Structure 1
């Protein structure tokens, strides 16, 4: 008897299996009826910071440069994905702005058109290189931007990231706010005893930059596998803290988006919470991931991957479309973080891609 991971605590109803597999050219629908529209593309596993919840300060084993996808290979995968209904490409890392040809990557992806029209190119970054690169990225076709900032305190930032670069991150956020690129979102991982006393300050900071702060529950994705559930700041705790300052009104129409959104005092300002651990949204997940070394992943927490490199480099007769659909068909109903059998992925977050 084959065991299927159990998703405990899911607030939405679990997806119901549907028979059959789609034909080439059809939408990317998994065995539970979820239609996939979002592909997250990691451009590198390297980063200019060393956040404690993501990667160690020293001794990192970087991906071999020969295994990193070229821009031509990324575009080849993206064109096939767009033809199958992917409408958004989100560029991640590591830190995507470390990629020397980042503007060319954005430009070539932004020119891709799928059955529903042009795709949208988004990016998640730490913001450090934005003041110099953002004008060129916008001209290349970048449509949306998420910037990570977990604390506003310089000493705390230094301890958390092992780098004294908060001023550069804040300069990147200021450049993004001045650019008019909207929506602008700031991401913060809520951590007990580290930044849980700054939640309201972070929201205020985002609002002053015409951005939405999105709090993320800390997830078991650190390279050192030191994640502690008891130390995690939960969705309920985050919302309770914010409710002490603002009246929170749920924003309807979440669909497959990872964040629950709330109006602050009736709006227009909003805040989001991504509760992957305590309130999983697996039943509506529409995302796939492509690592920098050509591995397709159907879940952030998956322990298996689908290797595209042999297909892209001519040593495997399968098509990109076939590997993509095999990945989708292999997707489980949920990540099972709350099941005793859960195993943390071997890769850290920097190697998976955000």
Structure 2
């Protein structure tokens, strides 16, 4: 198993397969992505070797991220490759939903177990303002389609933005009242290129949490491979509400995930200053060198990301290593 100096065990890999994205979200890539971001993306054989090494060390869940992973023409093959690796029990995808209606069936047949879709507003005009795309209706249709065809777990990710959705909790609650879907609110995180935006838009998830508790929502237990969300349920609602609050106390205490970028770089944390290049070790099928590097690397993982102290590491933007 991959276990660090603080006895945290890592069973969850977040694998970015591209930095590119076709949306221009205000909190991530407001000016679009770097035109060079498609160069040197990790290849399918390298992904197979990488995930195999992680699986041999106890990884059970792989989340494919970006950028926007559906911009990779071989995404379906990537899903199938990850799901076929012995030890991998769950393959998930985070997407902006742009191609969900078109491709969800192929992804399901390839072995996809779960999909998280970014929806930062249920108001079409606000969604367009935040993302640069007038696609809310299409994306909600894609979400309904993904559920209808039988993808086991469909979730919605909503970044909390003070000036855009701070007062929209009643709308989101109504959305999950009659359908079994988990909607997770994510606190905006400061990166190297969004300091001013962060100062104007950051909204603590604590205010949402207090409203949920006051209305009778109850905290659900976590599974071992779950991410950092605190998920709440209510007997009068079919769906669930989750909160990801990276500025809260002890957020990192039960960290179970490592990240690899689309260029084959290992990041021990979303907000680290350093990475270790795995690419040279992924050119052959021998997993032992990759496994040794991973086992050594996790011993250097810090106790916390220190976001509460104003630290953001070397992360340029959230598309860099998949958020």
Residues 195, 62 of structure 1: alpha-carbon distance in 2 compared, 3 angstrom cutoff:
farther
Residues 280, 266 of structure 1: alpha-carbon distance in 2 compared, 3 angstrom cutoff:
farther
Give the TM-score normalised by structure 2: 0.91
Displacement of 1:176 after TM fit?
Answer: 1.5
Within 2, Cα distance between the matches of 1:272 and 1:239? Answer: 9
Q: Mind listing any 5+ residue stretches in structure 1 that lack a counterpart? A: 1-26
Q: Please tell me whether the aligned partners of residues 180 and 240 of structure 2 are also in contact (alpha carbons under 8 angstroms).
A: no
Match of 2:48 in 1: 75
Matched, 1:325 2:295: yes
**Paired residue for 2:106, among 111, 126, 136?**
136
**In the TM superposition, what whole-angstrom CA distance separates every residue of 1:218-271 from its partner, at most 9, and x where no partner exists?**
111364443535742112211234456x32112234666311121224665321
Displacement of 1:207 after TM fit?
Answer: 4.0
Match of 1:348 in 2: 317
SS of the equivalent of 2:167 reads coil
Q: Please tell me whether the aligned partners of residues 34 and 284 of structure 1 are also in contact (alpha carbons under 8 angstroms).
A: yes
Between 94-103 and 232-241, the greater mean CA deviation after superposition? 232-241
Match of 1:13 in 2: none
Within 1, Cα distance between the matches of 2:171 and 2:178? Answer: 11
Within 2, Cα distance between the matches of 1:252 and 1:152? Answer: 28
**Paired residue for 1:303, among 273, 282, 287?**
273
Matched, 1:34 2:3: no
Give the TM-score normalised by structure 1: 0.84
Q: Please tell me whether the aligned partners of residues 114 and 154 of structure 2 are also in contact (alpha carbons under 8 angstroms).
A: yes
Q: For this pair of structures, how many residues does the alignment match?
A: 320
Matched, 1:237 2:210: no
Displacement of 1:126 after TM fit?
Answer: 1.1
Displacement of 1:279 after TM fit?
Answer: 3.9
**In the TM superposition, what whole-angstrom CA distance separates every residue of 1:118-159 from its partner, at most 9, and x where no partner exists?**
431111111110111111111110011111101011111111
Within 2, Cα distance between the matches of 1:151 and 1:258? Answer: 22
Within 1, Cα distance between the matches of 2:178 and 2:19? Answer: 32
Match of 2:64 in 1: 91
Within 2, Cα distance between the matches of 1:353 and 1:223? Answer: 16
Displacement of 1:173 after TM fit?
Answer: 1.1
**In the TM superposition, what whole-angstrom CA distance separates every residue of 1:281-334 from its partner, at most 9, and x where no partner exists?**
2110010001001111111111111111222248xxx92112222331221001
Within 1, Cα distance between the matches of 2:32 and 2:63? Answer: 28
Q: Mind listing any 5+ residue stretches in structure 2 that lack a counterpart? A: none
Match of 1:9 in 2: none
SS of the equivalent of 2:172 reads helix
Matched, 1:60 2:30: no
Q: Please tell me whether the aligned partners of residues 11 and 256 of structure 2 are also in contact (alpha carbons under 8 angstroms).
A: yes
Within 1, Cα distance between the matches of 2:213 and 2:315? Answer: 37
Instruction: Name the larger-Rg structure.
Output: 1
Residues 45, 58 of structure 1: alpha-carbon distance in 2 compared, 3 angstrom cutoff:
closer
SS of the equivalent of 1:156 reads helix
Residues 101, 304 of structure 1: alpha-carbon distance in 2 compared, 3 angstrom cutoff:
same
Match of 2:91 in 1: 121
Match of 1:47 in 2: 21
SS of the equivalent of 2:309 reads coil
Within 2, Cα distance between the matches of 1:69 and 1:319? Answer: 18
Q: Please tell me whether the aligned partners of residues 56 and 224 of structure 1 are also in contact (alpha carbons under 8 angstroms).
A: no
**Paired residue for 1:111, among 71, 84, 90?**
84
